[in-house]
Amino acid sequence: MVIAGSEGAGRKIRGKVILQRERCKGCGFCVEFCPTHVLEMDKGLNNKGYHTPMVVSAEACSGCDLCGLYCPDFAIFGIRIPRDSSEKQEIV
């Protein structure tokens, strides 16, 4: 499933989150500590039976990679996208 990001909206840096859902064990750290509240916990479950995060505010992502630092299961990380790139958010 792919969620489209917005087109720049006047902000200097954009970022995107790459999530590998099947690694996630639902601890909730990324949702909690994302400084711009990009994520929320999904009501659905992954194959392991955990609630995983989902991107709810893609345009708010700055690519700071705090989610990557906080994830104990190496299931999510953030990258910065140059302003003129057309990359979109990805969930695998």
Partner 1 sequence: MNEHVNPVERFLRMDRMPHIWCPGCGIGIVVNCFTRALVQSGVDVDKVAVVSGIGCTGRIAGYIKLDSFHTTHGRPLPFATGLKVGNPDLKVTVFSGEGDLVSIGGNHLIHAARRNTDIKVFCVNNFTYAMTGGQVGPTSPLHSIATTVPYGNYDMPFNLPFLAEATGAVYVARWTTYHVRQLTNAMVETLNKPGFCFVEIIAPCPTIYLRRNRLGDGLEAMRHYKQDSKIVPGANTRDVGMDLSGPIVVGKFVDKDRPTLLEAMNQEYGAKLGKEYVPFPTGVQR
Q: Least distance from C-beta 59 to partner 1, angstroms? A: 19
Q: Least distance from C-beta 92 to partner 1, angstroms? A: 7
Residues that bind partner 1 (CB under 8 A): 18, 20, 23, 25-29, 32-33, 50, 65-66, 68-74, 77, 79, 90, 92
Q: Least distance from C-beta 14 to partner 1, angstroms? A: 14
Element housing 45 (H / E)? strand 39-45
Give the whole-angstrom CA distance, residue 58 versus residue 36.
Answer: 10
Q: Is the dihedral of CA 78, 79, 84, 90 positive or negative?
A: negative
